[in-house]
Amino acid sequence: MADVLSGVASPADVRALPEDALPGLCEALREAIITTCGRVGGHLGASLGAVEVVVALHRVFHTPQDALLFDVGHQAYAHKLLTGRRDRMHTLRQADGIAPFLDPRESHHDALAAGHACTAISAALGLLAGRRQLGHSGHVVAVVGDGALTGGLSFEGLNNAGGSPLPLVVVLNDNQMSISANVGAIPALLRTRNARAFFESLGFTYLGPVDGHDLGALTRALREAKASSRPVVVHALTKKGRGFPPAEADEQTRGHAMGPYEWRDGKLVRSRGGRPTYSEAFAQVLGDALERDPRVVAVTPAMLEGSALTGLKARFPDRVHDVGIAEQHAVTFCAGLAAAGAKPVCVIYSTFLQRAYDQVVHDVCLPGLPVVFAVDRAGLVGADGATHQGAYDVSFLRPLPGLTQWAPVVGEDLGPMLATALQASGPSVLRFPRGTLPDLPPELARDGTEAHDARAGAEGGKSSTASRLTPAALPMPGARWLKRVPGSRLTLVTLGPLGLSALEAVRSEPDWSALDARRAWPLDEAALLEAAAGGHVVVAEEGTVRGGLGSAVLELYAASGVSPRVTLLGMPDVFLPHGDARVQRTQLGLDAAGLLRAGRALLGEENR
């Protein structure tokens, strides 16, 4: 079987295959996808479901003269395998390896880079319009999932395309799944006869529904679409996870994304990390809040699974809302909830919050509504790479009046921070990273929340996690001295879990202090000015250096007329690619060794 695939070095080879070789090709593609994901993990379910769609597309359209745009790009592993990347698929999602999604810098068969959902229709229409304007021929096809039709951007594209004479081809890969089961009225409509009426009323010729695993039917529909002089939708019904029993049987996500696994004797063997993640810890404290206060409501834009909210959805079906891939709507929906007196918590990945910036500014912050944003995946995300890095939230949120930005160091910080945010009269952010919770270091275990603020002089506060979550600890104070050395020449100022790197670093430098900023905004000015008094400050954060906490600290020092020597560490001024987040953290100097290096260099003691 693999032999069929080894004879395919480019789409021209796919087109040259006799029809009776195609089922074998599809099987070999599935085998390659299953093997690759087993070794390195990845977006298995969507890619398995789209195998026939991809093969049929390459039979009918000729890339790169014709352009295929896959929404998100997570379903396109077969496309990668057919376009000269088969030999490198084992490097998928790893540093310097094959990209997690599509990118023309990796292959000229990839028309445009993506990773976020709902962009394909607009991008494809623009590409087609641009090509026609410049006198280029060639067809342009947007492959979108049913999940993408829960997002407004897709509809902006459909509206424009349906009213345009350009012969855009939209292939709707309808598997009735987003990451979780798809939601809302439109996915329901897609499985009725009204699907035809719906697309036709938007100005498209509708072809389908077609069995998306029937190569013959798909090929015929795509040929007809290619011959059209008008915009066309080809509606293909597919099954996510097709051909891999554990994915097909996975009722939650149909194997949407999987970590490495082994497939032995017909059984899936997966090593599951035992430690809870920040997302799970947040979901736990959110569950407590939902339990305690009937006004609390949780909202997720299509990330129930990743945000660890499936359990809460089952417990509080009417108060946990999955609104689809609709970040803008999610935020404005929360604004409405807050205006009604509810206490909405919008649980959203840092990278996806980017799409809802105006909604945060205009609908939440401007009226000062008490919406809590739980910003997950803040910082380095690892294998998903540049499109998904949680790099910008601190920088783009910091200028917004009245918005408080919290960042927990350890899981134990989440409860008091959420409780403080829920008590606030205006909007708040809690940013936390992708990954597992650290052990509670002894320096933090010693004190209760309020006792961390050494200026309060409190020692030996409450000792149990539960007691740290009590309202007595609220509201959260400002910055927290992780270590405070009187007369210290240097202070490490950190945001979020980097406080743990700082704690480790200062164990080797008994004369240095360490301050957890605890908030990116508003700053704890008194604590930061105290840090400046030592003359040397290193600010470290997992977000862009430009515009982040470090910039805020420099603004404070400039405005206060103090001028310590300052080094800023964080994510640099480039789009950081996929790789191992731990390795990248070290490369960026954000681990304890990096902080030590930066501090010693600042003091002119690099040779120590």
Ligand X SMILES: CC(=O)[C@@H](O)[C@H](O)COP(=O)(O)O
Ligand Y SMILES: Cc1ncc(C[n+]2csc(CCOP(=O)(O)OP(=O)(O)O)c2C)c(N)n1
Here's the x/- map for ligand Y, 236-275, by CB under 6 A: it reads as ----x-----------------------------------
Q: Which does 422 bind (CB under 5 to 8 A by kind): Mg ion, ligand Y, ligand X, none?
A: none
Both structure tokens of 409: 């160091």
Angle, nearest 10°, between helix axes 22-40 and 51-60? 130
Q: Which amino acid is at 86?
A: R
Min dist CB 79 to ligand X, Å, is 15
Min dist CB 380 to ligand X, Å, is 11
Q: Which does 111 bind (CB under 5 to 8 A by kind): ligand Y, ligand X, Mg ion, none?
A: none
Catalytic one among 355, 483, 519, 585? 355
CA distances from residue 542 to 379, 482, 538, 556 in whole angstroms, order as listed = 5, 18, 14, 20
Min dist CB 28 to ligand Y, Å, is 21
Closest C-alpha to 483, from 501, 463, 465? 501
Contact residues toward ligand X (CB under 6 A) are 43, 72, 74, 179, 257, 306, 377, 381, 384, 434
46 scored as a contact of ligand Y (CB under 6 A) = yes
Here's the x/- map for ligand Y, 316-335, by CB under 6 A: it reads as ---------x-x--------
Concerning whether 224 is annotated as a catalytic residue, the answer is no
How buried is residue 268: exposed, middle or buried, by Cβ count under 10 Å (0-12/13-18/19+)?
middle
- Give the CA count within 13 Å in the CB-facing half-sphere of 27: 9
Q: Pick from 41, 100, 147, 435: which binds ligand Y (CB under 6 A)? A: 147
Contact 75, 50 (CB under 8 A): yes
Give the nearer residue to ligand Y in terms of CB position, either 123 or 148.
148
Closest C-alpha to 142, from 117, 172, 114? 172
Contact 477, 519 (CB under 8 A): no
Concerning whether 30 is annotated as a catalytic residue, the answer is no
Give the nearer residue to Mg ion in terms of CB position, either 76 or 532.
76
557 scored as a contact of ligand Y (CB under 6 A) = no
Concerning whether 291 is annotated as a catalytic residue, the answer is no
Q: Which does 519 bind (CB under 5 to 8 A by kind): ligand X, Mg ion, ligand Y, none?
A: none
Q: Pick from 53, 68, 124, 179: which binds ligand Y (CB under 6 A)? A: 179
Min dist CB 212 to ligand Y, Å, is 11
177 scored as a contact of Mg ion (CB under 5 A) = yes
236 is in an annotated binding site: no
Contact 57, 82 (CB under 8 A): no
Min dist CB 570 to ligand Y, Å, is 24
Q: Which residue has the tokens 């004479």?
A: 165
How buried is residue 573: exposed, middle or buried, by Cβ count under 10 Å (0-12/13-18/19+)?
exposed
Question: What is the Cα 248 distance to its own chain's centre?
Answer: 24
21 is in an annotated binding site: no
Catalytic one among 240, 343, 431, 434? 240
Dist. CA 449–CA 462, nearest whole Å: 8
Dist. CA 48–CA 420, nearest whole Å: 44
447 scored as a contact of Mg ion (CB under 5 A) = no
244 is in an annotated binding site: yes
175 is in an annotated binding site: yes
What secondary structure does DSSP assign to 406-470, as a single string? E--SSGGGHHHHHHHHHH-SS-EEEE--SSBPPP--HHHHSS-GGGG-GGGT--S---SHHHHTS
Contact 232, 170 (CB under 8 A): yes
Q: Which stretch binds Mg ion (CB under 5 A): 143-151, 304-312, 347-355, 430-438?
A: 143-151
Dist. CA 97–CA 190, nearest whole Å: 37
Bridge pairing between strands 404-406 and 519-521: antiparallel
Q: Which amino acid is at 361?
A: V
Catalytic one among 327, 412, 509, 541? 327
Min dist CB 48 to Mg ion, Å, is 12
Min dist CB 549 to ligand X, Å, is 23
Q: Which does 495 bind (CB under 5 to 8 A by kind): ligand Y, Mg ion, ligand X, none?
A: none
74 is in an annotated binding site: yes
For 45, the enclosing helix (H) or strand (E) is: helix 44-49
* Other residues' Cβ atoms within 10 Å of the Cβ of residue 527: 24
Phi and psi angles of residue 267, each rounded to the nearest 5 degrees, phi first: -125, 150
Here's the x/- map for ligand Y, 69-108, by CB under 6 A: it reads as --xx-xx---------------------------------
Q: Rule CB under 5 A: which residues touch Mg ion?
A: 145-147, 175, 177
Which residues make up each annotated binding site for thiamine diphosphate? 74, 115-117, 147-148, 175, 244, 327
Q: Cite the annotated binding site for Mg(2+) by residue number.
A: 146, 175
Q: Which residues bind ligand Y (CB under 6 A)?
A: 46, 71-72, 74-75, 116-117, 145-148, 173, 175, 177-179, 240, 302, 325, 327, 352, 355
Q: What residues are labeled active site? A: 240, 327, 355
